[in-house]
Amino acid sequence: MPTVHRDVGNLRITYVPARERKGARNWSRSDVVRIQAYRGVGKALHRGAEFPVKSERDFIKLIKTLCDIYAEGRP
């Protein structure tokens, strides 16, 4: 599976398989979801956060948490 990304607003969300990561960059020893923000105008990105995805359950937990904080934060 290759690295894939999609832009959502000013965010770039990237799925990076572990086999695409080398050396110290593969700190999690698993696939990761990387979330970066654009630095204003242009294509430059902040470094961003990486969330390890060792199983489908990890990814589902991330999505559930996003839904939970959205629901709790709404008036």
pLDDT digits (tens, 9 = 90+) for 30-71: 999 999 999 988 889 999 999 999 999 999 999 999 999 999
**More confident call, 29 vs 38:** 38
Burial of 31 (0-12, 13-18, 19+ CB in 10 A): buried
- Break the chain into its structural domains and give their ranges: 4-73
Least Cα distance to 66 among 18, 27, 8 occurs for 8
Residue 52's H or E segment, with its range, is strand 49-53
pTM for the full model? 0.81
Answer for the pair 35, 6: CB distance below 8 angstroms, yes or no. no
